[in-house]
A and B are shown apart, each in its own frame.
Chain A
Amino acid sequence: MTSFDAIVIGGGHNGLVAAATLAKAGRKVLVLEAGSEVGGAARTEEFAPGFRASSIAHLLNRLHPDVVKTLELEKHGLQFGRADFMPSVALSKDGPPLVLHGAYGEVLTGASSSEQSAWKELRAQLLRYAGILKPFLSRRPPDLTGMSLLETASLGQTALALKKLGKEDMRDFLRVLLMNVADLLDEQLADIRLKGLLAFDATLGSHLGPRSPTSLLGLYYRLAGETGGAAGAQVLPQGGMGAVVAAIRASVEKVGVTIRTSTPVAKIIVEKGRAVGVALDNGEVLRASTIVSAINPATTFLDLVGPREIDTGFVRKVKNIRMKGDAAKLNLALDRPPQFSGVDAAGHRSRLVIAPSPDHVERAFNPCKYGEFSPEPVMEITLPSLADPSLAPVGACVLSAVVQYAPYQLKEGWDAGKPKFLKAVMAQLESHAPGIGKSVVHAELLTPADIETRYRMPGGHWHHGELQADQMLVSRPVSGWSGYDTPVEGLFLAGAGSHPGGGVSGAPGLNAARRIIAMKG
């Protein structure tokens, strides 16, 4: 039997990135994936005969440049130029849509000239402030108990960057840091379509409405991501998200990592406070000195390690991680491309957002606080088969949408609620793309409950833990253990539940691997 230095649990993109990084540092690495293929929620899957769509994540907007570099992903066919940047269209029922072109609205069309200049200023400010947070959101969070020289130096650099902002800007940065996005938008913008789009982006994937305190952080998190060197830029990869994972997988295999799919781990074996291996569902035991868990932190500790091997206080913290998702995924197989009102051909290849105003987003959020779905949900829509015809039969079309708000714990239960929610979603789509309902060949709606089951994401939460101020940085996944190492020696976390958080960035996986390499010298 081959022996491995490190076993990575979970072949999602973070697990793969961690595995590749460790392998490049000379470790023998084995990846164990429970599903039949790697990629987790970033796969391309057939959901109806001849129709394929990205599983959950359907846009690439934050794949970390260090990940691209370390895994040499460009060599494996993952290369994006400015021409690939995908615009965002704020759909409107009464009037022409508003479009953010380039990297998150370098150019704004469809708005008044005064709004254009207001946006130019706000965009610059948002990017400047997100830029301050960016280093925090890529490196290992500072270790508050014993900071190394390097950590102190990098914190110092952030302080310097803050200082470089100038006194007024620095004050403003601190003033707005924990603000709600709606108030900030009201300060600077007038067009409710633009404000609606930004409010949607700030709250996408979190249990917040635009008027919830700290909701602006979500927008910073988004803008701290970059594609092709441009902050805020988004692309729709050819072949769907599965293509991104395919590139990562190719890189992983090139550096000699062994991958076993359909191999669920039943238990992490701990002996005298040290993780020494894993037991599989079939009873097989695999041993290694380093165990990297790139799956959910709560699953890792409560199910695989088990509360008996960890301290009560830590169990408390892990149990208290909030991770109840509010985002649903809709995949539609359409017999012909839909026609969204007022949107041109180029627009249909963009990200189409239904979030007519911050108030609308807020009202969509309100019911989910009480276990009900939004009667008029907000969503972002892509039509990936327009740019990549291989995803659908000739003449047909794939619609892929992320829809909010669909609370994980729906009061009436998702068995009863799902058909009603689908109806609400379809009504919302129909009002922007008349006739779309009649062109539906097959509709697949994945509620957070479905996402939980299918992708092993507790709560159906794609961040594996709410990404809010109290669960970020040194508090992610739990306070005192934000540095990828855990109370169990030899066990490391490397998934989205760890800092910085979710989205297809590879940053948690990369940071975790770097930490492991640094610890062993």
Chain B
Amino acid sequence: MAQATRKKPVAKIAGAAVSTRIAAQSHFRTLRLGTPLQPRIDALAKTQDWYNWAGYRAPHSLWDEELEYFAIRSQAALFDISPMTKYRIEGPDAEALLNRVTLRDVTKLKSGRVHYTAWCDDEGFVLDDGTLFRLSPSHFRLCSQERHLPWLLDSAVGFDVIVEEETEAVAGLALQGPTSFAVLRDAGFAGVEKLKIFDLADFPHDGGTVTVSRTGFTGDLGYELFVPADKALSLWDRLMTSGEPRGIRAIGYTALNRARLEAGLIVANADFTTAEHAIRADRLRMPDEIGLGFMIDLEKGHFNGRRAILEARAKRKLRYVLVGLEIEGNIPAEHAIVYHRKAQEVGLVSAAMWSPMAKRNIAIASLARPYGDTMVEDLWVEIYAMRELQYQKLMKRAKVVARPFIKLDRRTANPPADF
């Protein structure tokens, strides 16, 4: 009896502890998280075509991927970029830390500006690429594909700086396309016309602030908007309302992926394997091997990977090159093998499409040097076109061409045009 009375409260406490624990572990009940904008996305998701973006339920398409693509190029497209990994890096040493971590010279990035950058491990292999927003002299936002908090925190040893993940706290929206400026202006973002490409500024919204930058992943006129998660839905509604007369459409990733390919932009873990994901030693890539060599600033002082990059350059240890290809015909060469003289395998296409804007069959490919570097003649791609349960093997000539594949004046025009 005495035993029973002693046991009872213990069991009660244990039961309470277990239920608290289970409550705190509800993450497994939702295998793909929703973003702060999920209610609006879900309402528009006619295709129910989802994919996993960094743990979030993100749409491949919402209603029609072709028309979604054309919304980017001829109207205004709204794309939820909330799942993008975002870090707040703030403090007196924020600039110094980012200068040590990333490739480009952060001292040259003025307050109110954004630049595209990348960062490497000690061996000079690319950990990720991303965009760095300088919100104030001592406050930055780093956006990227992969997660890097341990790396950033370990990098911050010896720096007076705060590094904090803000992926969940901050929602993001990309508004891209020729009418995007007009949509913003009509939504009441007074002064947004002053933003030049890669500029950013704060605007009032719903009793709070939204940070608008003239940036994007489409090669088109466009903006990215960052807002506290609880103001995300009102921002969406504000843009959708003002954009309606100008053909604003919500889009999924497939459409965006086409636009970015035309713009010649690369995607981490699609066009190259990031260093922390690569299992095979020959999958690691240095910036010079994926077309990011232009970011490397050897004059700015030490940065992660500098020694290894210098050595690879000096000892000619760079083994790959990432190129743009123009392929004859109109069949997309997705994941096609690249040959030299139709015989020797020299690389692989990582992204390909028929470009409606360029009216060319374009691709991004990684080749083993010297092919694509000094040897650019006589390159071919082998396309396997499935035609009613039979492969039609096509050997098509490929020409190394400059990226971007399309250049739109409206992307950089000042003031932005009113369509």
Contacts and interface: CB of A to CB of B under 8 A. Distances in A.
Nearest to B153: A312
Interface string B366-379: 00000000000000
Interface stretch (B47-55, B136-144, B278-286, B304-312): B304-312
Nearest to A315: B157
Please classify the interface of chain B as helix (H, G, I), strand (E, B), loop, or mixed, using the class held by over half of its residues. loop
A313 B121 contact: yes
A316 B158 contact: no
Contact of A313 (B96, B122, B302): B122
A311 B304 contact: yes
A66 B55 CA distance: 60
A284 B310 CA distance: 31
B283 to A, nearest CB: 18
Contacts of B306: 273, 311
Contacts of A101: none
A319 B157 contact: yes
A273 B158 contact: no
Interface in A297-324: 302, 306-316, 319
Contacts of B419: none
Given A312-B101, A312-B151, A302 B310 contact: no
Contacts of A309: 302
A487 B307 contact: yes
Contacts of A311: 121-122, 304-307
B304 A270 contact: no
A312 B158 contact: no
B323 to A, nearest CB: 29
Interface in B64-113: 96, 100-101
Contacts of B254: none
Contacts of A315: 154-155, 157-158
Interface in B109-125: 121-123
B215 to A, nearest CB: 27
Residue of A272, A311, A313, A316 contacting most chain B CB atoms (<10 Å) = A311
A185 B277 CA distance: 46
Given A309-B302, A315-B157, A273 B307 contact: yes
B40 to A, nearest CB: 39
B307 A312 contact: no
Interface in B273-318: 298, 301-302, 304-307, 310
Given A273-B307, A273-B310, A487-B307, A310 B302 contact: yes
A312 B155 contact: yes
Residue of A306, A307, A308 contacting most chain B CB atoms (<10 Å) = A308
Contacts of B304: 311-313
B121 A308 contact: no
A271 B96 CA distance: 16
Interface residues of A, number: 18
A310 B304 CA distance: 7
A272 B100 CA distance: 13
Contacts of B298: 272
Contacts of B122: 311-314, 487
Contact of B154 (A273, A308, A312, A489): A312
Contacts of A307: 100, 155, 157-159
A310 B154 CA distance: 12
Nearest to B310: A273
A323 to B, nearest CB: 17
Contacts of B121: 311-313
A302 B154 CA distance: 12
A502 B290 CA distance: 45
A319 B301 CA distance: 23
A144 to B, nearest CB: 14
A323 B34 CA distance: 46
Contacts of A312: 100-101, 121-122, 151, 154-155, 304
Contact of A308 (B151, B302, B307, B310): B302
Contacts of B101: 312
Contacts of B307: 273, 311, 487, 489
A58 B100 CA distance: 45
Nearest to A487: B307
Contacts of A308: 96, 100, 158-159, 301-302
A317 to B, nearest CB: 9
B158 A306 contact: yes
Contacts of B302: 270, 273, 308-310
A316 to B, nearest CB: 5
A272 B302 CA distance: 7
Contacts of A270: 302
Interface string A472-511: 0000000000000001010000000000000000000000
A319 B157 CA distance: 10
A487 B308 CA distance: 9
Interface in A6-53: none
Contacts of B154: 312, 315-316
Contacts of A489: 307
Residue of A309, A313, A319 contacting most chain B CB atoms (<10 Å) = A313
A311 B123 CA distance: 9
Contacts of B157: 302, 307, 315, 319
Nearest to A302: B158
Nearest to B306: A273
Interface in A244-295: 270, 272-273
B92 to A, nearest CB: 14
B1 to A, nearest CB: 39
Nearest to B298: A272
A365 B304 CA distance: 41
Contacts of A487: 122, 307
A302 B96 CA distance: 16
Contacts of A272: 298, 301
B297 to A, nearest CB: 12
Contacts of B310: 273
A306 B155 CA distance: 12
A373 B358 CA distance: 76
Nearest to B303: A311
A315 B157 CA distance: 8
A310 B310 CA distance: 14
A480 to B, nearest CB: 8
A272 B309 CA distance: 13
Interface string A366-383: 000000000000000000
Nearest to B158: A307
B311 to A, nearest CB: 10
B14 to A, nearest CB: 27
A314 B122 CA distance: 7
Nearest to B124: A311
Contacts of B96: 308
A309 B301 CA distance: 8
B156 to A, nearest CB: 9
B352 to A, nearest CB: 35
Interface in B194-211: none
Nearest to B101: A312
A315 B154 CA distance: 8
A312 B308 CA distance: 13
A489 B123 CA distance: 15
Interface string B136-176: 00000000000000010011011100000000000000000
Contacts of A273: 302, 306-307, 310
B347 to A, nearest CB: 27
A504 to B, nearest CB: 33
Given A312-B101, A312-B121, A489-B307, 8 more contacts: A272-B301, A308-B159, A308-B301, A311-B306, A312-B151, A313-B121, A313-B123, A314-B122
Q: Which 10 residue pairs of A and B lie closest in terms of their CB atoms, listed nearest first?
A: A313-B122, A307-B158, A311-B122, A312-B155, A311-B304, A309-B302, A307-B157, A316-B154, A312-B304, A312-B154
Interface of A: 270, 272-273, 302, 306-316, 319, 487, 489
19 contacts: A272-B301, A302-B157, A307-B158, A308-B158, A309-B302, A311-B122, A311-B305, A311-B306, A311-B307, A312-B101, A312-B151, A312-B154, A312-B155, A312-B304, A313-B122, A313-B123, A315-B154, A319-B157, A487-B307
